[in-house]
């Protein structure tokens, strides 16, 4: 199994302040599922920005798809980014495009035939439960609906790596489980998934998933995932369990 990402002593500093990320080193293996955890402000979003080439590090080495991403020429960045699906915390949908056209965008950039695009978008809209909202523009969608469109756009082209920043933060628990199932399905097809999350319970839903834990900009050994609390005996009796 090949390495898809390697960080070696990576540091990231914004301006003249303290480093946001300090001496971060890890390896991601192709086709694996990784959860990125840590408190708010620990540096999760900054690390993800390095992964999808939106930011260059202040120091250290980053190898992506076997190449040095730090010195990658700008004219090669678009090609690399097309191999990475990204789910942003703030969605970043294109406001003048419909939900369907936002989802279709990666396929159009890749040059797929319109008939194939239409079929793929229909299937994706049905899966995320937004068939009836295909023609709606982002401003008319709820936060959860916008999140589902953003996720569909990120995964429709089956990227080699999927980077997701709190992708289940704006949806209900049932939809969160469905979206996690979609990510897990992509993982089983060979996509490397890196998912930042605050939801500890989701981590238990992916057999064989790995965890990267950030504490104040440094990767540390994570604390054990706390077990789900047992319901009180009265609840078990009422439910017939």
- CATH code for the domain in which residue 60 is found: 3.40.50.300
Instruction: Tell me, yes or no, whether 72 and 183 share the same domain.
Output: yes
Nearest to 20 by CA among 70, 59, 75, 74: 59
pLDDT at 203: 82
Residue 197 domain flag? yes
Instruction: Tell me, yes or no, whether 35 and 133 share the same domain.
Output: no
Instruction: Tell me, yes or no, whether 104 and 59 share the same domain.
Output: no
pLDDT at 103: 97
User: How many domains does the chain fold into?
Assistant: 2
> Could you say which of 121, 141, 158 is where a domain stops?
158
pLDDT, tens only, 153-166: 999 998 999 999 98
- Sheet containing 67-68, strands listed edge to edge, beginning at the edge strand earlier in sequence: 19-29, 3-13, 59-64, 67-68
Contacts of 33 (CB under 8 A, 6+ apart): 183, 184, 187, 192, 193, 195, 206, 208, 209, 210
Residue 238 domain flag? no
Domain span at 128: 92-158
Residue 234 domain flag? no
> Could you say which of 126, 158, 190 is where a domain stops?
158
Instruction: Tell me, yes or no, whether 61 and 172 share the same domain.
Output: yes
Residue 122 domain flag? yes
Q: What does each of the 241 residues of the chain score in pLDDT, given as a tens digit?
A: 689 999 999 999 998 889 999 999 999 999 999 999 999 899 999 999 999 999 999 999 999 999 999 998 989 988 888 899 999 988 999 999 999 999 999 999 989 999 999 999 999 999 888 999 999 999 999 988 998 999 999 999 989 999 999 888 777 888 888 888 888 888 888 999 999 988 777 888 888 889 999 999 999 986 555 444 444 444 333 333 3
Instruction: Tell me, yes or no, whether 193 and 213 share the same domain.
Output: yes
Read off the pTM.
0.85
């Amino acid at each position: 199994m090949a390495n898809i990402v390697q960080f070696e002593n990576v540091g990231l500093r914004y301006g003249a302040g303290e480093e946001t990320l300090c001496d971060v080193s890890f390896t991601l293996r192709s086709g694996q599922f990784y959860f990125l955890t840590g408190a708010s402000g620990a540096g999760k979003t900054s690390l993800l920005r390095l992964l999808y080439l939106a930011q260059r590090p202040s120091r250290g080495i980053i190898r992506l798809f076997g190449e040095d991403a730090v010195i990658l020429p700008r004219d090669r960045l678009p090609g690399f980014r097309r191999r990475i699906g990204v789910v942003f915390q703030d969605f970043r949908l294109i406001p003048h495009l419909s939900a369907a056209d936002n989802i279709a965008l990666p396929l159009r950039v890749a040059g797929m035939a319109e008939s194939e695009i239409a079929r793929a978008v229909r299937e994706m809209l049905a899966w995320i439960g937004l068939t009836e909202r295909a023609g709606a523009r982002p401003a008319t969608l709820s936060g959860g609906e916008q999140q589902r469109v953003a996720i569909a756009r990120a995964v429709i082209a089956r990227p080699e790596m999927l980077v997701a920043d709190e992708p289940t933060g704006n949806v209900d628990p049932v939809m969160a489980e469905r979206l996690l199932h979609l990510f897990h399905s992509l993982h089983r097809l060979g996509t490397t998934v890196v998912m930042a999350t605050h939801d500890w319970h989701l981590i238990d839903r992916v057999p064989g998933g790995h965890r990267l834990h950030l504490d104040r900009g440094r990767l540390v050994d994570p604390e054990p995932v706390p077990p789900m609390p047992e319901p009180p005996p009265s609840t078990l009796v009422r439910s017939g369990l």
